[in-house]
Amino acid sequence: MKQIEKRLRDLFGRLPDAQQQALVEYAEFLASRHAVDPTVTEPLDIPRPPEESVVVAIKRLRATYPMLEPSKLLNETYELMTQHVMQGRDRIEVIDELEVLFRRHYELRRSAPGG
């Protein structure tokens, strides 16, 4: 573990500020993807704040849909976050798409046999 931490610190130190922030946001996203609560069957009512960041939106949507398996959302969520952070795609557009993505996965889970 110490070697990984040292390597990560070294790489982090070589990155420009914007990429450091992107790396922190990605690490937060990865950390948030490990909690699932299958006992919750309906989305929770967590309102969307007006000045929400993409990372905070992902955390809010994970809390809103605790029954979803984060790994099933990883690729699409990562792609949207990358479009925002690396390509400068508008935050609101990305959050709108994240809302649709999470809702779609919820609807698929609900309509699946045993869901």
80-102 pLDDT, tens digit per residue, is 999 998 999 999 999 999 999 99
The Cα 16–Cα 112 span in angstroms is 45
Among residues 43, 98, 45, which one has the least CA distance to residue 65? 43
The Cα 94–Cα 42 span in angstroms is 24
**What are the C-alpha distances in Å from 24 to residues 35, 43, 113?**
19, 27, 38
What's the chain's average pLDDT? 86
3-state secondary structure (DSSP) of residue 38: coil
Q: How many CB atoms lie within 10 A of CB 82?
A: 14
Regions in the chain scoring below 70 on pLDDT: 1, 29-38, 114-115
> Which two tokens mark 53?
């960041």
- Whole-number pLDDT of residue 112: 80
pTM of the full structure? 0.68
Phi and psi at 41, nearest 5°, equal: -105, -20
The Cα 77–Cα 3 span in angstroms is 29
